[in-house]
């Protein structure tokens, strides 16, 4: 059988046209057929997934009303799953099996979903191409010689190829939205604090956020409804109820005020990407939206500010990988220092780079010059968006300045790799919600349009995304 979207799967199972086991087998078969070429999954546990599907089929009739009943889901490999290996794309955690599940896993399973496996990602989510994985690079399904984006590249591939209709990713600077754009699917970053981070392996804790990927806005809204809400195990998770994310999906574009920061789009955007973006925004204007030119004066400083904050927080968070508590331990060492050194030698080059730079900017004599200054820029950027939202409902940009770039093209040039996220990092620095929506193609490769919204106003972003996909 061919997998449809999550809503279609749920309807088919509810009508008893197929069983949860049938759907799960179809998902696993597709993964087996495609994963060898694309390397989207690090771990697949077919026996576990089928056992879960059978238990759903054998459960009481009432469980068939669950919003994700029988829906296969892929999970980025930095989100903890009890009893299922979780590596974060690193040799440090190559054999780590968590004794607990992240809150988001508990919630999707309570909603009836079936976790079929863990997807490939840049090591500890540090990258924009899924080339920094210790388990080999993932490949873009539209062109196997190109990156799928990162760090949630495996999750984006899984959805784009129909291995699973939905997936979970995480992002610190755009790692859900950017691969979604490069693979031609939707990716959502909610407001910081909207979804619990409990069980997410930390990179940059003040910016890390779990988000869903899907092929359509309806599925995205459904998953967000399941994931959102208070979690006392995460002190950064907001104590506010989830909104009705499906309520505005049919509201259309009429009356929607869309801000276009034309000055920051004037250079650095590939011609084909800009053409697809302009065509999509003009279509929204034709459908009744207003396009309003806005200023984001400090947006040009977002990338360096993000790099400093993210690397500083990474150096702090990765200090726990010391060979003592869990994960890899260096062998044949004669002292505690030797063990630390040997253990941390297992980190990949990009992780080492970020830890070293992060330690430097936090060191005495440099803290104020770098980290404090970056936090000041962060506050100014948030103020820019607050000013913009006095006159617009959402801000629109391309998600990525380019389409998927060739594998290997930027691995030796970290600055160019970091610039892949130049249009996405602002949402993480400010904590605002943002979504990437497919808006066309450039030279045969997908282009994504990004909408950024007011804090806690995910519903308006989903409305705008629906207007784009329905245009």
Active site residues: 76, 151, 175
In angstroms, what CA-CA distances link 26 with 19, 29, 147, 154, 167? 11, 5, 26, 19, 16
CA–CA dist 84, 96 (Å, integer) = 9
CA–CA dist 166, 71 (Å, integer) = 8
> In terms of Cα–Cα distance, which of 115, 124, 184 is closest to 149?
184
Phi, psi (rounded to 5 degrees) for 414: -60, -30
Answer yes or no: are the C-beta atoms of 231 and 197 closer than 8 Å.
Answer: no
Answer yes or no: are the C-beta atoms of 61 and 37 closer than 8 Å.
Answer: no
């Amino acid at each position: 059988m061919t997998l449809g979207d999550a809503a279609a799967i749920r309807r088919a199972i509810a009508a008893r046209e197929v069983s949860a086991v049938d759907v799960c087998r179809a998902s696993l078969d597709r993964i087996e057929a495609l994963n060898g070429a694309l390397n989207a999954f690090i771990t697949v546990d077919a026996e576990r997934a089928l056992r879960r599907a059978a238990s759903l089929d054998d459960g009481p009739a009432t469980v068939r009303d669950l919003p994700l009943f029988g829906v296969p889901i892929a999970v980025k490999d930095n989100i903890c799953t009890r009893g299922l290996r979780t590596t974060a794309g690193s040799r440090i955690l190559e054999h780590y099996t968590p004794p607990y599940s992240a809150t988001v896993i508990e919630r999707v399973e309570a909603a009836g979903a079936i976790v079929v496996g863990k997807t490939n990602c840049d090591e500890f989510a540090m990258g924009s191409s899924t080339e920094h994985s210790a388990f080999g690079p993932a490949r873009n399904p539209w062109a196997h010689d190109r990156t799928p984006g990162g760090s949630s590249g495996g999750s984006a591939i899984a959805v784009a190829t129909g291995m699973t209709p939905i997936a979970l990713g995480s992002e610190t600077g755009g790692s859900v939205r950017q691969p979604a754009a490069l693979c031609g699917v939707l990716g959502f970053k909610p407001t910081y604090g909207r979804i619990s981070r409990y069980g997410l392996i930390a990179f940059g804790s003040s910016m890390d956020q779990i988000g869903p990927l899907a092929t359509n806005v309806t599925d995205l809204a459904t998953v967000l409804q399941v994931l959102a809400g208070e979690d006392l195990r995460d002190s950064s998770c907001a104590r506010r109820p989830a909104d009705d994310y499906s309520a505005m999906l049919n509201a259309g574009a009429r009356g929607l005020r869309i801000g276009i920061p034309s000055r920051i789009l004037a250079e650095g955007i590939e011609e084909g990407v800009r053409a697809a973006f302009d065509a999509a925004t003009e279509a929204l204007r034709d459908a009744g939206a207003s396009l309003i030119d806005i200023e984001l004066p400090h947006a040009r400083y977002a990338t360096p500010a993000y790099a400093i904050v993210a690397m500083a927080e990474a150096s702090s968070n990765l200090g726990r990988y010391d060979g003592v508590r869990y994960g890899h331990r260096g062998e044949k060492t004669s002292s505690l220092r030797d063990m630390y050194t040997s253990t941390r030698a297992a980190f990949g080059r990009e992780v080492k780079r970020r830890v070293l730079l992060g330690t430097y900017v936090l060191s005495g004599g440099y803290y104020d010059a770098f980290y404090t200054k970056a936090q000041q820029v962060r506050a100014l950027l948030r103020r820019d968006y607050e000013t913009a939202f006095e006159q617009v409902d959402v801000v629109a940009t391309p998600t990525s300045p380019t389409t998927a770039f060739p594998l290997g093209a930027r691995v030796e040039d970290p600055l160019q790799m970091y610039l892949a996220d130049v249009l996405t990092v602002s949402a993480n620095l400010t904590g605002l919600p943002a979504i990437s929506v497919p808006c066309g193609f450039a030279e045969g490769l997908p282009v994504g349009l990004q909408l950024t919204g007011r804090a806690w106003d995910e519903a308006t972003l989903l409305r705008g995304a629906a207007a784009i996909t329905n245009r």
